[in-house]
Chain A
Amino acid sequence: MSIALLLVDDERDTSESLKMFLDLKGFSVRLAFSGQEGVDAVREAVPDLVLLDLQMPGGMDGWQALKQMKQLAPNVRVAIVTGSVPDRGLEQLALQEGAIGIVTKPIRIDDLVPKIHELLKEGKP
């Protein structure tokens, strides 16, 4: 059975492109284009991994979405995706909020699949 991923990002082009790539690599990918859509998707079916962008318009940002996802499904694995330079503060905050790790933008697409596997292996919900 393929690994189920949920990509939450308001950037449609990037997300669709990424879905195309990850489908190609054998993942089962769902997309959500806002924090609310992401929460709804988790309520529908809990994926193996959520890749959650922090900066999203429309009322709910990544942190709020993360909180609600963890309330819905305490065991859901969520990795934070950010364009910021990750420092210790951000890392601590992410772990504290229940995320299993951080993916920094930009990421080389070839590095993405190993990174997903690494997160699933090391990250405990």
Chain B
Amino acid sequence: MLKHYFLALAVTAATHFVLAIFVYLKGTRKPTNITYALYSLAISWWSSLEAFSIISHDEAAALFLWRLNHIGVIFITIFFVHFVVTLLDEPERLRKRRLILLSYLAGFCFLALDTTGLLIREVVPKFSFRHFINPGPAYFLFFCIWVGWAVYGLALLFKVYARSSGVRRNQLRYFCWSMLVAYAGGAPNFLPTFNIEIPILMPFGTYAIPAYAFFTAYAIVRYRLMDINLAFTRTAVFMAVYVLALGVPLLAALSLQPRLEQLLGPSWWVWLLIAYAALATAAHYANLYFQRFAENRLLAEQRRYQATLRRASDGMTRIRQLPRLLKLTAGILSRAVGLTHVSIYLQDGETKRYVQQVAKGKDGPSGGTSLELDDPLIKYLLVHKNAIVLEEFHIQRQQTEDPGLREVEVSLRHLGAALIIPSFIHDQLLGFVIMGTKRSGQIYTDDDIKVLMTLANQAALAIENARFYEAEKERQAEMFHTAQLASLGTMAGSMSHQINNRFHAESIITGTLRSVWNEADLSGVPDSIKQLVQKTIESLRKVEDDAIRGGDIAKTLLNFSKPGKMERIAFSEVVELAADLAQYRVKFDEIDYEPVLKNPLPPLNGNKNHLAEAFFNLIANAYDAIKKKEEEIKEGHLTLLPGQKYRGKLAISVTTATQNGATWLQAVVHDNGIGIKAEDLPRLFIPFFTTKATAEKGTGLGLYVIKRIVENHGGKIEVNSVSGEGTTFTILLPIIGGAT
């Protein structure tokens, strides 16, 4: 009986000492780890000293050892409660601060009492123990407080467990049960104090305490309880193997000592030693075998999907369509790792926001969500450039009390992220993957995160690739379009040249004919013929005029088809040139033409011909809108207020304007013409969209060409229009030295 006690206590002492060291080394600054290590040390202290207390032959030594081991007993529950409190969330944890302080105070009071006879009066032989304590007057109070404190700690632990979720819940479940077993097994050690003996529970119950250590070890290995992983697998296997191989035979030998002595004679222990040597050798190999086995079993699942992810990341860069790449990545992650949900966010090129591109599984962030560039989470990722595991982040956040981290956690929870893997190219955060929990309930190990980061980097490259490919495709389409326009321009150039030549020939021939008739001698010719000749000359004059005008128009087109270069120009020249060109189409005397140019205007870098073409088009459009309105009024489709008369007005105002901190040249072309219908406004700049009948002047290219020219100059064009009232085009062009 005494041997079982001794062995159970010795194993308890050893296991807890190792546990304490491990937990402490894994987090020398984390309160959770420190308190837990202290708690384990207190148990180790108590159990090792009690082991010697109960077998001591000397009464004085036994009393000293008993009082000494009670230092550990006193602090077991105090450290335990303190440890549980560190698991609490912030406001609650702070509220318990005073309680913890009080408990330490009580602990030191009992420590003082421990030096007197008030706690332990004396030691006497009891049951099978050589020496056991008889309690002093304060012992019962101490016992009550101790049990109360243990119950309180357990209750608190269960509360934390009930509130937890996901991976943490799994951790705490193991923890709760193992603590309960430990206390159920450990508490009976008090019973002999009060002269109570429960036969089976008494020696064997103590084994529950080291069993608890194994439970905890399992929880740590399986669920990374305090961020210890493989190191502990090895220790746990090592301890299990050696306790089985060496501890159990020792136990058996101790129980069967009389029989062995009978059987093997007085040198029975020699046989035992030989057996031990053999067992120790066997245990070494068993340990190696079981370690490999345990690791394979524990990590089999991980290794399988990690291999899948590696294969996936190798093939990624071959995919060129971005949407497909993203969908595939999300699918692989979701299936291979077995996630509750996964979603991928990428930075938008224009808004710089991080926008959800693809999502799989329920419980994830709702579709179409996006994060601003100044979101606390984005800022945190930009600084730390590493994966975030929510569970660890939560614990870390609680222990550093940084208010910034709280906001990050809010973001994380809002997104339903158990893990975030960022994806960087150079120092630019391209995007990130949000992952839910594993359906298996397992945690993300360091290995997982390493593999996922590799995948993310690989994905970043693939995404860049795909984006480049898409941009290249767009660029090529654009080039094709430009080439089309250019060939159109060349064609228009040679065509207008030919047309001009024809008009020239026509004007020369009719002109010659006219002057020949004009100078013909018509004396003696009847008056009726003279009148006919006069009429013919007039008609020829009209044809000649028309031919000259036709030729001029063709020449204007010719001018526009010329390629031009960018140079320093004054915008006033552009307006003059445009108005000159517009002469052939616009009858300026029929409308109020009001060009107002600020003087002086800043120079700009541009192509005079192209800008003039754009401006000419705007003037021509305005004129057409005025003519259209006149027509509508004439036909009675539009009615004016009584006494009102319509006269077209075309106002041009060129000045400077400040926008986005830069100075621009602002040209406004306003007309009081027919206006544009609201539904047509969005399509206004689309090529070949025209509201004008084909028989009229519209080609559908005018506004498109204007927009292209303005944008080629780094400018912007806006349109405002009220149907029936008029239209205003506003052009902003960058000026030389205008940017800040």
Known: A105-B501, A106-B503, A108-B548. A83 touches B512 (CB 8 A): no
Q: Which of A55, A85, A105, A109 contacts B511 (CB 8 A)?
A: A109
Who on chain A is nearest to B515 by CB?
Answer: A21
Residue pair B511, A83 in contact (C-beta under 8 Å) = no
Residue pair B558, A14 in contact (C-beta under 8 Å) = no
Closest chain B CB from A20 CB (angstroms): 5
Known: A85-B555, A106-B547, A108-B544. A17 touches B497 (CB 8 A): no
Q: Which of A's residues lie within 8 Å of B, judged by CB?
A: 11, 13-14, 17-18, 20-21, 24, 55, 83-85, 105-110
Known: A83-B497, A106-B547. A18 touches B504 (CB 8 A): no
- Per-residue contact bits, chain B 509-522, to A (CB 8 Å; 1 contact, 0 not): 10111111001000
Q: Which residues of A contact B340 (CB under 8 A)?
A: none
- A84–B551 CA distance with the chains assembled, in angstroms: 10
Flag whether B229 is at the interface (Cβ < 8 A). no
Q: Which residues of B contact A11 (CB under 8 A)?
A: 501, 505
- A83–B512 CA distance with the chains assembled, in angstroms: 19
- Of the A-B pairs whose beta carbons lie under 8 Å apart in the complex, a sample of 27, sorted by A's number, is A11-B501, A13-B505, A13-B509, A14-B508, A14-B509, A17-B513, A18-B508, A18-B512, A20-B512, A20-B516, A21-B512, A21-B516, A24-B516, A55-B497, A83-B500, A83-B501, A83-B551, A83-B555, A84-B497, A105-B504, A106-B507, A106-B508, A108-B507, A109-B508, A109-B511, A109-B515, A110-B511
Flag whether B559 is at the interface (Cβ < 8 A). yes
Residue pair B551, A106 in contact (C-beta under 8 Å) = yes
Interface size on B, residues (CB 8 A): 24
- A83–B555 CA distance with the chains assembled, in angstroms: 7
Q: Which residues of A contact B508 (CB under 8 A)?
A: 14, 17-18, 21, 106, 109
Q: Which residues of A contact B511 (CB under 8 A)?
A: 21, 108-110
Which B residues, 479 to 533, have Cβ-Cβ distances below 8 Å to chain A?
497, 500-501, 503-505, 507-509, 511-516, 519
Flag whether B464 is at the interface (Cβ < 8 A). no
Residue pair B547, A109 in contact (C-beta under 8 Å) = no
Q: Which residues of B contact A106 (CB under 8 A)?
A: 500, 503-504, 507-508, 547-548, 551-552
Closest chain B CB from A112 CB (angstroms): 8
Residue pair A83, B504 in contact (C-beta under 8 Å) = yes
Q: Which of B's residues lie within 8 Å of A, judged by CB?
A: 497, 500-501, 503-505, 507-509, 511-516, 519, 544, 547-548, 551-552, 555, 558-559
Q: Which residues of B contact A107 (CB under 8 A)?
A: 504, 507
The 7 closest A-B pairs by CB, nearest first: A109-B511, A106-B551, A105-B504, A21-B512, A106-B504, A14-B505, A83-B500
Closest chain B CB from A111 CB (angstroms): 10
- A107–B506 CA distance with the chains assembled, in angstroms: 11
Who on chain A is nearest to B550 by CB?
Answer: A106
Closest chain B CB from A125 CB (angstroms): 26
- A14–B555 CA distance with the chains assembled, in angstroms: 19
- A14–B509 CA distance with the chains assembled, in angstroms: 6
* Number of A-B residue pairs having CB atoms within 8 Å of each other in the complex: 68
Closest chain A CB from B283 CB (angstroms): 99
Q: Which residues of B contact A83 (CB under 8 A)?
A: 497, 500-501, 504, 551, 555, 558
- A11–B508 CA distance with the chains assembled, in angstroms: 11
Q: Which residues of B contact A18 (CB under 8 A)?
A: 508, 512
Closest chain B CB from A91 CB (angstroms): 15
Q: A21-B516, A85-B559, A106-B548 are in contact. List 18 more A-B contacts (CB 8 A).
A: A17-B505, A17-B508, A17-B512, A17-B513, A21-B508, A21-B515, A83-B555, A83-B558, A84-B497, A84-B558, A105-B504, A106-B503, A107-B504, A107-B507, A108-B507, A108-B511, A109-B511, A110-B511
Closest chain A CB from B15 CB (angstroms): 97
Interface centre among A18, A85, A106 (most CB of B within 10 A): A106
- A88–B509 CA distance with the chains assembled, in angstroms: 30
- A84–B508 CA distance with the chains assembled, in angstroms: 17
Closest chain B CB from A28 CB (angstroms): 17
Q: Which residues of A contact B514 (CB under 8 A)?
A: 109
Q: Which residues of A contact B559 (CB under 8 A)?
A: 85
- A107–B547 CA distance with the chains assembled, in angstroms: 10
Closest chain B CB from A12 CB (angstroms): 10
Q: Which residues of B contact A85 (CB under 8 A)?
A: 555, 558-559
Q: Which residues of B contact A105 (CB under 8 A)?
A: 500-501, 504, 551
- A21–B518 CA distance with the chains assembled, in angstroms: 11
Q: Which residues of A contact B507 (CB under 8 A)?
A: 106-109
Closest chain B CB from A114 CB (angstroms): 14
Closest chain B CB from A104 CB (angstroms): 8
Q: Which residues of B contact A108 (CB under 8 A)?
A: 507, 511, 544, 548
Q: Which residues of B contact A17 (CB under 8 A)?
A: 505, 508-509, 512-513
Who on chain B is nearest to A85 by CB?
Answer: B559
- A17–B547 CA distance with the chains assembled, in angstroms: 15
Q: Which residues of B contact A20 (CB under 8 A)?
A: 512, 516
- A14–B497 CA distance with the chains assembled, in angstroms: 16
Who on chain A is nearest to B545 by CB?
Answer: A108
Q: Which residues of A contact B512 (CB under 8 A)?
A: 17-18, 20-21, 109
Q: Which residues of B contact A21 (CB under 8 A)?
A: 508, 511-512, 515-516
Closest chain B CB from A34 CB (angstroms): 16
Q: Which residues of B contact A84 (CB under 8 A)?
A: 497, 555, 558
Closest chain A CB from B178 CB (angstroms): 94
Who on chain B is nearest to A83 by CB?
Answer: B500
Closest chain A CB from B512 CB (angstroms): 4
- A24–B515 CA distance with the chains assembled, in angstroms: 9
Closest chain A CB from B557 CB (angstroms): 10
- A83–B504 CA distance with the chains assembled, in angstroms: 8
Closest chain B CB from A31 CB (angstroms): 13
Q: Which residues of A contact B497 (CB under 8 A)?
A: 55, 83-84
- A109–B656 CA distance with the chains assembled, in angstroms: 46
- A21–B517 CA distance with the chains assembled, in angstroms: 11
- A21–B511 CA distance with the chains assembled, in angstroms: 8
Closest chain A CB from B510 CB (angstroms): 8
Who on chain A is nearest to B498 by CB?
Answer: A83
Closest chain B CB from A6 CB (angstroms): 17
Q: Which residues of A contact B552 (CB under 8 A)?
A: 106
- A25–B215 CA distance with the chains assembled, in angstroms: 123
